[in-house]
Structure 1
């Protein structure tokens, strides 16, 4: 993780891929409520001083503490947000009842159509989940681009980016995969990536994304910070699996398509990258498939497990 040259923004650079592809998550870190003012009751001073005491008062002994102090542990709110979030209590999420988009990655416009239709289905499923969990739902924006991106604020140097409520997808990556590799792998990769970035949007709506960034900023040591990053990224991949698992009968996710998706998530690790931000391919497969099999966000509490499970 590094702080960018833009004030108030934290960028998380992610490396996830069979090849050296990357994703970035950026979140604006600003106070939501602005400055807080408080009023204090004022007592006027008496016009004449009270009469002096003629006897020396007996000092009152300081009482011994009889219970725990009232100090709030550091990051208590953030820890509750990531560990005990209402998202984990909603149960199996509803199926969007959407089929896989029929557009194929043969042109930028068709890539855009695929992601636009997929995003509509993701919104349909997750909107109900957010309401049941007690959070406000708002759909993310989508920008599918080719060539050099115009938005430099979000540092769009990767194939898939979630930044300030916008999902950015680089169509050039999909076009290259369609031309050079297995077209079915291209489809499973596209489905995984858009749902993974949407997982970050779910984290943003539930407060998990911001709380995890805060925890990471207060952790001492690079290795420990990378563990926190992997918890966040593996949860997004798990939530990607949750959506697909809920909709598998309608998508449909079965047969050869499902076999290729399992291969895809089993081979998207960061073990080749010195910046271990996303997790080894074995753990990536484990969390993605756990989400798929459960179709329940409760299966995605990556913050409650030992570091070895998110290595």
Structure 2
């Protein structure tokens, strides 16, 4: 999640990922009790490396899934100055997100490894005075990392009674990248960016990926916090009221996609890859 000019704007870094394929082990030749060599009777095509599954970003089975039902999530109080408090809050938020998205994964018959959640005092070399990373997801190791100095700095502008929902939204965005990774969407998105014919095409794909994660953060918020409260307004006020970004979309787009996840009945509401260009600008 990226903050531009210290205004609220979310970002998650998309790491390079590789497709997951199943490789068959070549069986050892064995003789039958009668001494005949049966290896010639085996179908060698069965030993071939299967092709990776085809992933359609616009027409993906994920979009047919119902919004996961609400869960009980007892997040601990967050003391933003305490490393231990951040660790406990981040781990518990991750566990709640695991539970929330589990029905969707089960319906899709996916059994992904659950992501690790860690905190660090180390920022990124790419951070600048105008923009810096709050947290990021690494798909190759399935890890969400929260950068403590940066979230503490932003916390200074967030009222104490609103911090927990704001940082839950951050975790929901990063976890959404894990959902994208588990369903193959992130791999295809990376491939499209790598093969893009222009910088604008690459940025368009990146925006669609990030805005989908923002939409899924809306799904997560709705499933964890009181839907009758002001959580959506709080998150939009701190993250999506200003700071247009080429990589993550305009403040208006981010706000609209967060609300689409909050209000949706199925994950189809987060199909940014099938959206018109002006919806992901």
Common fold by TM > 0.5 = yes
SS in 1 for 2:196: coil
Superposed counterparts of 1:275-294, under 5 Å: 276-294=246-264
Distance 1:108 1:252, change over 3 A: same
User: Separation in 2 of the partners of 1:17 and 1:241?
Assistant: 21
Match of 1:305 among 256, 267, 275: 275
Q: Give deviations 1:141-163, integer Å, cap 9, x for gaps.
A: 111112468xx9xxxx7321101
Instruction: Find the counterpart in structure 2 of residue 63 from structure 1.
Output: none
Match of 1:143 among 115, 118, 126: 118
Superposed counterparts of 1:94-109, under 5 Å: 94-109=69-84
Pair 1:167-2:144 in alignment? yes
User: Separation in 2 of the partners of 1:306 and 1:259?
Assistant: 25
SS in 2 for 1:122: helix
User: Separation in 2 of the partners of 1:210 and 1:268?
Assistant: 30
Runs of 4+ in 1 over 6 A off after TM superposition: 34-38
User: Separation in 2 of the partners of 1:77 and 1:255?
Assistant: 41
User: Separation in 1 of the partners of 2:16 and 2:102?
Assistant: 21
Q: Which has the higher contact order (CA 8 A, sep 6+)?
A: 2
Q: Which has the larger radius of gyration?
A: 1
Instruction: Find the counterpart in structure 2 of residue 235 from structure 1.
Output: 212
CA contact under 8 A between 1:16 and 1:278: conserved in structure 2?
no
Q: Which runs of 5+ in 1 are unaligned?
A: 1-13, 41-75
Instruction: Find the counterpart in structure 2 of residue 260 from structure 1.
Output: 234
Instruction: Find the counterpart in structure 2 of residue 29 from structure 1.
Output: 18
The Cα of 1:134 is off from its aligned counterpart by 2.3
CA contact under 8 A between 1:161 and 1:169: conserved in structure 2?
yes
User: Separation in 2 of the partners of 1:180 and 1:33?
Assistant: 48
Pair 1:77-2:23 in alignment? no
Instruction: Find the counterpart in structure 2 of residue 3 from structure 1.
Output: none
SS in 2 for 1:263: helix
CA contact under 8 A between 1:237 and 1:284: conserved in structure 2?
yes
Aligned length: 248
CA contact under 8 A between 1:230 and 1:279: conserved in structure 2?
yes
User: Separation in 2 of the partners of 1:36 and 1:222?
Assistant: 42
Q: Give deviations 1:178-229, integer Å, cap 9, x for gaps.
A: 3454224433331111110000000000000001111222221110110000
Match of 2:177 among 200, 213, 221: 200
The Cα of 1:234 is off from its aligned counterpart by 0.3
Match of 1:131 among 106, 109, 131: 106
User: Separation in 2 of the partners of 1:180 and 1:95?
Assistant: 29
Q: Give deviations 1:216-263, integer Å, cap 9, x for gaps.
A: 22221110110000000000010011111123xxx3254454431232
Instruction: Find the counterpart in structure 1 of residue 164 from structure 2.
Output: 187
